[in-house]
Structures are given as C-alpha cells and as structure tokens.
Amino acid sequence: AQKVTQAQTEISVVEKEDVTLDCVYETRDTTYYLFWYKQPPSGELVFLIRRNSFDEQNEISGRYSWNFQKSTSSFNFTITASQVVDSAVYFCALYGGGADGLTFGKGTHLIIQP
Amino acid sequence: SAVISQKPSRDICQRGTSLTIQCQVDSQVTMMFWYRQQPGQSLTLIATANQGSEATYESGFVIDKFPISRPNLTFSTLTVSNMSPEDSSIYLCSVVYAGSYEQYFGPGTRLTVT
C-alpha cells in the first residue's frame, strides 16, 4: 500500500524567511510520480509540480524548489523569501499510474506572517 | 493545463436527499477520479470513473451511496445519495490527460447537509 507522510501539521514564519515543507513516501511501485499541490483559503487545488521516480534532478521554479531523494524516500519543498500570498495548505501526493488515484499526505498548513 | 468545471459550486441540502455533481473537461482525458475532502482534512479517493462501465470504488465507498457515471471522455457525474451531515465535504473531480501523469483538479463542490 502507498503512504505519504507530512509530519509538519502547521508552520508559521515571518515574511521573507525561507521555509521547507517535508514529505516522506512509501510505495512498492518501481515507477511512480510525486506531486505537490497548493490549496489556498479559497479551496481550489493548484498543481505545483510532478516528479517522476526515475528523475532525481532537483527543480527550481522562481522562489520554489524541490529536493527529491529516492534513497530517503523524500520529496521536500522549499519556498525562498516567503510572501504572505504563500499562505495555504500544501499537499504532497503519490501516484502509481494507471487507474490508481493519488494518495495524499495530510497536508501542511503554512502561515506567512507580515 | 486543464479547464475543468464542476456544478454546482456549492449547495446546502436536507438530510435524506440526494445531490448529483457534474464534472466537465475541456478536452478528452484518459482518467477521471472523484475525491472527497472532509472539513480540515486531506483528500480521499472515492472512485475512478470508467468510461462506459462501472466505476472502481475505494475501500469504504460503495456504489449505492456514491453512484458515478461517465458517459464519454469529457464528462462525469457523482451522486451523493441519502445524505447525512457526515457527508458535508468538498467533492472534487480530477483528470489525467493522455500521455501525461499530471492530475488536475476541478474547483470543487462544497456540500453542506443539514
């Protein structure tokens, strides 16, 4: 069975600080896909990134960066120079492909204080 | 990215009644899924909507309670039957396009059962 653990329930930082959201996963699949989604207070789920299990390159997109380490089954998400608009719940999710849906972590509520 | 619409966006329903939620996508997709997000919780997969055949349900969800249809490659419905206050949640559809592994989500339907 697949499992995604986001151990940080809530993180609060002051604007402009860097913050890292942790994600640890478990799967028996040899090929799988990892995702991060953002859910602002309005409720919609915004796709941020997908990472394939066979691609361990880290990725940077503006202030966002992701660190995928297969050896530790982790896919962590860092926001650099955080802004108030980054305040949201962030979900890490795992997809085995095909007819399987996503397995979500419990989410991390990120609060950026001005 | 996908253009996914859901109707209704929100509803308040009486206990014992049923509500049908529609999910429409802008182009053909391979996979369609339905998720539930209970208040303050993460997302849980209800079922995979299969085109032209019965949906595949996750453990804890049954067809009598959550009948699903998918008559074509761009449209699906989820019915929440014989509702109780415990069914108050956000219901979201998600899609996967051919050749892709990204799952995009609709805006969700906020259901309150009184």
Give the model confidence (pLDDT) of B53-106 as tens digits.
889 999 999 999 999 999 999 999 999 999 999 999 999 999 988 778 888 999
The pLDDT of residue B60 = 95
Residue A98 has pLDDT above 80, yes or no: no
| A39-95 tens-digit pLDDT | 999 889 999 999 999 888 888 889 999 999 999 999 999 999 999 999 999 999 999
Length of chain A: 114
Is B34 buried (19+), middle (13-18) or exposed (0-12) by CB count in 10 A?
A: buried
- The residue that leads in pLDDT, B54 or A112, is A112
Nearest residue of chain B to residue A90 (CA atoms): B42
**CA–CA dist B22, B11 (Å, integer):** 13
Contact status, residue B33 vs residue B103, Cβ threshold 8 Å: yes
Question: Closest Cα of chain B to A89: distance in Å?
Answer: 10
Question: Closest Cα of chain A to B79: distance in Å?
Answer: 19
Average pLDDT of chain A to the nearest whole number: 94
**CA–CA dist B24, B22 (Å, integer):** 7
The answer to whether the CB atoms of A104 and B58 lie below 8 A apart is no
